[in-house]
Amino acid sequence: MYQPDSMSSEERRAAASLASVFAFRMLGLFMVLPVLATYGQDLAGATPLLIGMAIGAYGLTQAFLQIPFGMLSDRIGRKPVIIGGLILFALGGLVAGQADSMLGVLAGRILQGAGAIAAAIMALVADLTRDQHRTKAMAMIGMSIGLSFAVAMVVGPLIAGAAGLAGVFYSTSLLALVGIALVALVVPSPQQAQHHRDAGVARGAFLPALRNADLLRLNYGIAVLHALLMACFVALPLALQEHAGLPREQHWWVYLAGLLLSFIGMVPLIIYAERRRRMKRVVLGAILLLALTQLLMWLSMNSLAALVVAVVLFFTAFNVLEATLPSMLSKIAPAGSKGTAMGIYSTSQFAGAALGGVLGGAVYGSFGLGGVFVCCALLAISWLAIGATMDEPPYVTSYRLAVDPTLVRDEALLRRVLDVPGVAEAIIVAEEAAAYIKVDTQVLDREQLDRVLHPV
Write down all domains in the chain, each with its CATH number in brackets.
Answer: 10-190 (1.20.1250.20), 201-395 (1.20.1250.20), 397-453 (3.30.70.100)
The pLDDT tens digits for 310-334 are: 999 999 999 999 989 998 998 999 8
Question: Edge-to-edge strand order for the sheet containing 434-439?
Answer: 397-402, 434-439, 423-429
Q: H-helix or E-strand containing 87?
A: helix 78-98
Q: Which residue type is seen at 146?
A: G
The pLDDT tens digits for 164-194 are: 999 999 999 999 999 999 999 999 988 766 6
Lowest mean pLDDT among 96-105, 269-278, 362-371: 269-278
Q: In which band, very low, low, confident or very high, does the pLDDT at 402 lie, cut at 50, 70 and 90?
A: confident
For the chain, give the percent of residues with pLDDT over 70. 98
CA distance linking residue 350 with residue 348, whole number of Å: 6
**Confidence (pTM):** 0.92
Degrees, nearest 5: CA angle 268-265-317: 105
Q: Which residue type is seen at 96?
A: A
The pLDDT tens digits for 69-99 are: 988 988 898 999 999 999 999 999 999 999 9
